Each structure stands twice: as C-alpha cells, then as structure tokens.
Amino acid sequence: MDKKQIVALLNKDLEAEHGAIIQYLNHAYAIGEGALACEIEAVAREEMRHLDWLAETIVELGGELSLKRGKTNLAGKTPPAWMKNDVLAEEEAITMYKAHIKAISDPGIKRLLQRILSDEESHHDDFVHFVDKVKKEKLKDVRGATANKTTKTLNWGIEHEYTVALQYMFQSYYMKNKDAQKELQDQAVNEMQHMGWLAEKLIDAESSPRLEHTEVEATGKKVKMAEMMKADIKIEDMVAKRYDQTAQETKEPKIKRLMERLRDHELYHSKVFGDILKEEKAKKK
C-alpha cells in the first residue's frame, strides 16, 4: 500500500473521529451539567486527541487533511437511546480500525492505530455502562425549544467557535514554525472552550445548542502562513465586534458577561495572530 492509499484510510479515520466528537458533545450538552456529562465530554476529548494524532500523521505523509465530518447519529429522544447510539458508533470505529490495521503494513502507523483501537474498545465499554447509568439516574433531555434573539446569537457563536477551532487546529498541522503551531493549537483549544460556554448558556435559556460549522478558510498544505494569519485576524476582529455589540444590546447580565469575556478572548487571539504575521514578514526582509 502506497502513501496515497494510507492517507485515504487515515482520512476516513479522521472523519469518523470528527463525527464522534460532535455526536458525544451533543449528548453531553443534552443531559445538562453533572458527572455523566463530564464523563462523556472526557470521551470526546480523547477522540480529539485521536484526531490530532491522525492529522499529524497524514501531514507527515505529505497528505491533505479531510475537513469532512463523518457520521453523526443524533437519532433518538431519550438518553438511553443516545447512549446506545454511542455504543454503535464505537463498534463501527472498532471494526474500521481493525480493518485499517490489517491493511496498513507501516509498523509505526499500525502501532498508532492499535493505540487508538485500545481507547475505542474502552469507550465502547463506557457507553455500555452509560446506558444503564442514565436509566438509573433517570436523566432526561434538558434542552428546550426557546427561540429568540439571544438564543439565535448564542447558536451563531457556536457556529463561529466550531469553525475557527477547526480552522486553527488544521492550520497548525501544516505550520513549520513550531512556536506559531503551538499558538494556533492553544487558540483552537480556547475556541472549543467557548463552544461549551455558549452551549451551557443555551441550555440555561431552555433552548438547544446547534453544533454546526461554516466554511473553514485558509488551510491546506499550499496555503502560506501569512495568508492563514490574515484570514484569522479578519475573522477574529469581526466576531469580537459581534460579541461587543451583543454585550451592549442585551438586558441579561449573564449573557452580557459572557459576551464581554468572549470579545476579550477574540481580541487577544487577533493580537497573537498579528504578532505571528509581523514575525513572518520580518523574516522575509
């Protein structure tokens, strides 16, 4: 099997991890705050780690990362049904990883996939346990159907945060400058935190988080660092203005505080990316 074929298989794995992350976060947010939601989010973070390892390997092989999101099963109306869907997701992942381990001869990549497989088998057992746990704790769907200007803005924020988290993380994999790579990854993690904060506020508002993203910009092995940073600065400045506007307009103190905090974070990100851009321009003089 040549590198191109290996990259194709690893991208399928990458897409599946992406889908699993969103599926599990949806389920964690839907049952509200509590120990089990934290456990599900912990599983999602492990899937993020898998995505990270896979992405790094694909780029090392000279491949282009897939931005497609794999299967996300959000069917069912109750927590037990959701946990059963998560069990099925892990079973599908286990089957796929076993097939890819068998198909790929590269010892280093086989070892990586075997490491991920071990996690997926553990996740499978976790979700089997969670099926009974949600029944025992009588957990319910805490999401509501409230739709107003505030919930629309919060969901717009999730859409933005999801998009830039992907954008910065995927840009980082192509970044040769290690300091810039770390900064991009740090800001991506911060954007993921923002998603969680916004989702919590939507639940508090008796509404439902919508985890979707828009088009990811300026990422790929042929995109230059300066182009990436210019795109990132532009989007950070834009969203900071939107958050600031919302903070000024809202009559809800908790929403105002969140919007101001998000605004300040986005302005910080913009400055970080501005510094990276300046350093890149200085190197070329």
Alpha helices (H) in the chain, listed in sequence order: 3-30, 35-60, 79-103, 107-136, 149-174, 178-204, 225-249, 253-283
Using alpha carbons, list the distances in angstroms from residue 280 to 185, 219, 231, 275, 283: 18, 17, 15, 9, 5
Compute the Cα dihedral for 237, 259, 159, 19 and give only its sign.
positive
- Cα angle 22, 28, 30; round to 5: 100
Do the domains 1-142 and 144-285 sit in the same CATH topology, yes or no? Answer: yes
pTM of the model: 0.95
> Helix, strand or coil for residue 269?
helix
Res 38: pLDDT: 96
Structure tokens at 157: 């924020």
What single string gives the DSSP state of each residue in 161-203?
Answer: HHHHHHHHHHHHHH---HHHHHHHHHHHHHHHHHHHHHHHHHH
* CATH node for 144-285: 1.20.1260.10
**Mean pLDDT across the stretch 248-258?**
96
Model confidence at 236: pLDDT above 90: yes
Helix axes 35-60, 107-136, angle to 10 degrees: 160
The residue written with tokens 């389920």 in the block is 27
**pLDDT more than 90, % of the chain:** 96
Model confidence at 265: pLDDT above 80: yes
Res 281: pLDDT: 86
- Cα angle 33, 248, 234; round to 5: 85
Fold entry, domain 1-142: Ferritin (1.20.1260)
Give 179's pLDDT tier (boundaries 50, 70, 90): very high
Give 244's pLDDT tier (boundaries 50, 70, 90): very high
Question: Please, what is the average pLDDT of the chain?
Answer: 96
Res 76: pLDDT: 96
Q: Distance between CA atoms of 282 and 285, rounded to whole angstroms?
A: 5
Res 283: pLDDT: 82
The answer to whether the CB of 202 falls within 8 A of the CB of 211 is: no
Q: What is the pLDDT of residues 43-92, one digit of tens each?
A: 999 999 999 999 999 999 999 999 999 999 999 999 999 999 999 999 99
Query: Domains of the chain: which residue ranges?
Result: 1-142, 144-285
Question: Running DSSP on this structure, what letter comes out for residue 213?
Answer: -
Give 9's pLDDT tier (boundaries 50, 70, 90): very high
